[in-house]
Amino acid sequence: MHRSKSKKALFGTAAAAGAAALVAGLVQSAGATEPNTTEPKDVGAAGAPTAITTISTGWSIPWGTYWMPDGSTALVTERNSFKVFKVTPSGAKTQVGSVPNSQTTGGEGGLMGVAVDPDWASNHYVYFMHTSSDGNRIARMTYDGTSLTGYKAILQGIKKAKYHNGGRLAFGPDGYLYATTGDAQTTSLAQDKNSLNGKILRLTKDGKPAPGNPFNNHIFSLGHRNPQGIAFDAQGRLWEAELGQSSKDELNLIKSGKNYGWPTCEGNCSVSGMTNPKKTWGVAEASPSGIAVVDGAVYMAALRGERLWQIPINAGNENVGTAKAHYVGTYGRLRAVTKVPGSNQLWLSTTNADGNGGEPAGSDKIFRVTIS
């Protein structure tokens, strides 16, 4: 992972509570510096990974994974081929199309995140974040369960670079689409409220700024270097994993309007107006990409660190527990980690064919991990 340039539904009652928490609790103005969070001994996840099974092989840089609302299949993107596949719970894959107007950057750009509309049954919309000739963009296509058709760019003007493109998409319990963007190797953009880069964005299904955004534009939070993982917990809180430059990678609890520090801070700092991470790692043991929340813990896939981190979170407060590493050096670079609907399981994918893992095209895999 590049380090030498710039840093850093299916919802019922629980979802309604999560949405309320998001709107009432997270949509707030930026505040003062938060203190460092300790790791209380009483915080712990109910389970841990107990089994891992290879379910699909023959992949080349599977970057994004997102389940259909009914849990019947998942959509998986390949970064450099721009192909999109549907994959059954047993791992059988079928190409359903590709995303047009895509291109690579010779580094980390290409076809990245995917998200399925919570109202897919009625509108058949899916969303992609990808690199194009004019920059990174978010696009919407129609998916009928068999093939992708149509193409509409709903948000453009996100600068691209060889590295630091962000790229993850996820729908929140509030029904809006969240997207991560990197600083495009221009550190000042992360603090620029007129730039879409170095941010977490919150937008409508048509690509407009979501109502209630803190700066009356697309920006939900700022001060990010290269965020590649976002996931919501059972309380509707948004967690984010972010690649640092040379000292600290981060796990952040994201709130509306907060400034997460880059490039002023990498990891914890005491600068007024900057929000500290809930957890940090040395870059050699993490370099995080995707995250998922299962059974009271954030699971974070590590690229350079070649491991799956388990970080217990507390439903009643913002504390996190002691992080545990699984599969260290066993499967290589881990990119996407996604909760399987209706079960305490994860899908975990490798990107060892991404130029940093030293493996040929077709060598990447998707695993199923059981949490118990």
User: What is the number of alpha carbons within 13 Å of residue 220 lying toward its C-beta?
Assistant: 27
Please give the positions annotated as active site. 164
Rounded CA separation 215/344 (Å): 37
Rounded CA separation 43/180 (Å): 28
Rounded CA separation 320/330 (Å): 26
- In the block, residue with structure tokens 């001060």: 223
| Residues paired with residue 303 on neighbouring β-strands, in sequence order | none
Q: Where are the alpha helices (DSSP H) in 48-182?
A: 120-123
Q: Enter the tokens of residue 21.
A: 């928490």
Q: Enter the tokens of residue 242.
A: 């972010």
- Whole-number Cα distances in Å, 292 to 23, 122, 134, 338: 21, 26, 31, 5
User: What is the number of alpha carbons within 13 Å of residue 100 lying toward its C-beta?
Assistant: 9
Within its chain, how far is the Cα of 361 from the centroid? 24
For 185, the enclosing helix (H) or strand (E) is none
CB 330 within 8 A of CB 324: no
CB 115 within 8 A of CB 138: no
